[in-house]
């Protein structure tokens, strides 16, 4: 597992998404690789349970994407915590149930390795990948009239091509 926390912003629009460094939260989950999602678009959400915008807007939006477009796009979450606070397993279980999380999610290695390596701007941060594994869009935020509206347009553009 790569624990390089100094090789910042390894992603570029139009380029292949590099592998992430994530850990399983739930025992039954195996850790996927980026190439596991080739052939179908992917929406990646960096979020934190300690982030009000993530819990109140980003997770519900990601759930909506799964519900409305799950046949055409995969959605996964990476719980990141750049403050270095470890969340207990029970908190993840509770959030999964209370927020009705419909997508698989994992913990970022060493709290924020992938977050930093992908050049995320904070939480929530979104990365949209096409079916060939190329980064199509990257945006920070959960404002429905800004970030989520733009993200929605990019997803529809990608799915309708």
DSSP 5-38: -SS-----TTSBPPPP-EE-SSTTPPPP-GGGGT
Q: Which residues pair with 23 in a beta bridge?
A: 107
Average pLDDT over residues 71-88: 89
Query: Residue 54 pLDDT more than 50?
Result: yes
- Distance, CA of 74 to chain centre: 10
- Give me 150's structure tokens: 């733009």
- Give me 97's structure tokens: 């149930």
pLDDT confidence of residue 139 = 94
Average pLDDT over residues 78-92: 87
Average pLDDT over residues 63-68: 97
Residues in the chain: 161
Average pLDDT over residues 26-40: 90
Q: pTM for the full model? A: 0.92
pLDDT confidence of residue 155 = 97
| Per-domain residue ranges of the chain | 33-159
pLDDT confidence of residue 85 = 77
pLDDT confidence of residue 7 = 53
Average pLDDT over residues 125-154: 94
Percent of the chain with pLDDT over 90: 75
Buried b (16+ CB within 10 A) or exposed e, 115-127: bbbbebeebbbbb
Give CA–CA dist 151/43, Å, rounded: 10
- Give me 67's structure tokens: 């519900």
CATH superfamily of 33-159: Glutaredoxin (3.40.30.10)
């Amino acid at each position: 597992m790569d624990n390089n926390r100094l090789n910042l912003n390894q992603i570029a629009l139009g380029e292949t998404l590099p592998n992430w460094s994530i850990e399983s939260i739930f025992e039954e989950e195996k850790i996927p690789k980026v190439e596991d999602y080739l052939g179908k678009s992917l929406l990646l959400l960096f979020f934190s349970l300690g982030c009000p915008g993530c819990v109140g807007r980003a997770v519900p939006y990601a759930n909506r994407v799964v519900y409305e477009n799950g046949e055409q796009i995969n959605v996964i979450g990476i719980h990141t915590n750049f403050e270095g606070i470890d969340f207990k397993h029970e908190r993840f279980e509770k959030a999964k149930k209370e927020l009705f999380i419909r997508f698989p999610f994992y913990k970022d290695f060493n709290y924020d390795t992938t977050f930093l390596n992908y050049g995320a701007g904070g939480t929530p941060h979104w990365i949209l990948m096409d079916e060939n594994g190329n980064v199509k869009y990257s945006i920070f935020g959960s404002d429905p009239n800004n970030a989520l509206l733009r993200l929605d347009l990019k997803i529809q553009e990608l799915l309708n091509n």
